[in-house]
Structure formats: C-alpha cells, structure tokens
Amino acid sequence: MKRTGTLVEAFTPWAGLVVGLVAAGAVHQIGSEGTFDNCGGMAPGPLLVVAALGLLASAIAGLVSWRSLHGEVGLARRIVAVISVGSAALFCLAIFLPMIAALVLPPCFQ
C-alpha cells in the first residue's frame, strides 16, 4: 500500500465527489431558499452567479480527480477517482439544468 505524503495528495481522487456534492447542494439550497423566501423580488441574476460558481467549482474538482488518475498505482484509489469524475459530471449537469430553468421560467407561479 502506498503512503501519500500530504493531505492534498490523499484528497485528489475524492475531489470531484466531495466538492461537487457540496457545490450542487449549496446551489440548490441558495436557489430554492431564495425563491421560496423572496419569490417576487428574486431575479435570475444572483441565482445564475451562484450556479456559475458552483458549476465552476464542480468542474475544477472533476478535473483534479481526472488528473489524479494518471499518478495512481493502487486500484482502489483509481476506482474512487473514476467514480469521482463521473459524479462531478453528474453534479455539473444537476447545476446546469436549473440555470436554464432560471432563465426560462418566471420567478413565481402565482
């Protein structure tokens, strides 16, 4: 079993899964709470900015996990990295679709 030198090296295969999950959760929470609490005054601008930041964070984390695939020799860490890259892609999709909805749908259905 290979010992990693730093915490960053140990975290890189997990980055897409962990950061993508936190980013998607934060974007969903801010979007749903902002729309629920202030439906009439909530414009799509702030929602799009938060979603773009979450999309960027998830994509970068997926790229970090992808790059960690080339340096890994252990099978378990390679499997985690592959799952993490796939999860980051799924989280990017989960963030991108509400961005489209914020542009197309009206803020309130009243």
Residue 51 lies in a domain: yes
For residue 98, tell me if it sits in a domain.
Answer: yes
36-61 pLDDT tens trace: 666 666 677 888 899 999 999 999 99
If you search the block for the tokens 């989960």, which residue do you land on?
Answer: 94
1, part of any domain? no
When the pLDDT of each residue in the chain is averaged and rounded to a whole number, the result is 84
Full residue range of the structural domain in which residue 73 is found: 11-104
Counted domains in the chain: 1
Residue 4: inside a domain = no
The segments of the chain whose pLDDT lies below 70 read 1-4, 35-42, 106-110
> Distance between CA 19 and CA 98 in Å, rounded?
18
Residue 35 lies in a domain: yes
Is residue 109 situated within a structural domain?
Answer: no
57 within a domain of the structure (yes/no): yes
